[in-house]
Structure 1
Amino acid sequence: MTAEQLAILSAGVFFTTGLLTGIWKWRAIMASPNAEAPYYVNVAHRAALLYSFAALLLAFFAARSVWPELWNLAGVIGNVVFYAAAILMYCIHGFLRDTDNQLARPHRLGKREMPAWQMTLFMTLLAVGEVGGFLILFTGVLAAWWG
Structure 2
Amino acid sequence: MDDLISPAVALAVLASGVFLLIGLLTGIWKYVAIMQSEKARAPYYVDIAHRASLLYASAALILAALAHFSVWPAWVNWWAVLANVVYFALAIGTYVIHGVLKDTDNQLRRPHRLGAMSLPSMLIQLFMWSLIIAELGGTLVLLAGAWQFLWPQVM
TM-score normalised by the shorter chain: which range applies?
over 0.9
- 2:147 aligned partner: 142
**Equivalent in 25, 44, 47 of residue 20 of structure 1:** 25
- 2:66 aligned partner: 61
CA distance, structure 2, for counterparts of residue 145 and residue 47 of structure 1: 29
**Equivalent in 13, 20, 24 of residue 8 of structure 1:** 13
Q: CA deviation at 1:146?
A: 5.4
- 2:3 aligned partner: none
1:28-77 deviation line (CA, Å, top 9, x unaligned): 00111111000000000000000000000000000000100000001101
Contact kept? 2:56, 2:88, Cα under 8 Å: yes
1:32 aligns with 2:37: yes
Q: CA deviation at 1:145?
A: 3.7
How much is the aligned-residue C-alpha RMSD, in angstroms? 1.1
CA distance, structure 1, for counterparts of residue 83 and residue 21 of structure 2: 21
Please give the secondary structure, in 2, of the residue aligned with 1:33: coil
Report the count of equivalent residues. 147
CA distance, structure 2, for counterparts of residue 41 and residue 144 of structure 1: 40
Structure 1: segments with no counterpart, 5+ residues: none
Structure 2: segments with no counterpart, 5+ residues: 1-5
Identity %: 54
Alignment of 1:85-100 (within 5 A): 85-100=90-105
In the alignment, residue 93 of structure 2 is paired with which amino acid? Answer: L
CA distance, structure 1, for counterparts of residue 71 and residue 147 of structure 2: 9
Please give the secondary structure, in 1, of the residue aligned with 2:95: helix
CA distance, structure 2, for counterparts of residue 140 and residue 8 of structure 1: 18
Q: CA deviation at 1:92?
A: 0.2
Contact kept? 2:11, 2:81, Cα under 8 Å: yes
- 1:52 aligned partner: 57
Please give the secondary structure, in 1, of the residue aligned with 2:107: coil
1:64-91 deviation line (CA, Å, top 9, x unaligned): 0010000000110110100000000000
Please give the secondary structure, in 2, of the residue aligned with 1:24: helix
Q: CA deviation at 1:142?
A: 1.6
Which of structure 1's runs of 4+ aligned residues deviate more than 3 A? none
Contact kept? 2:103, 2:113, Cα under 8 Å: yes
Please give the secondary structure, in 1, of the residue aligned with 2:59: helix
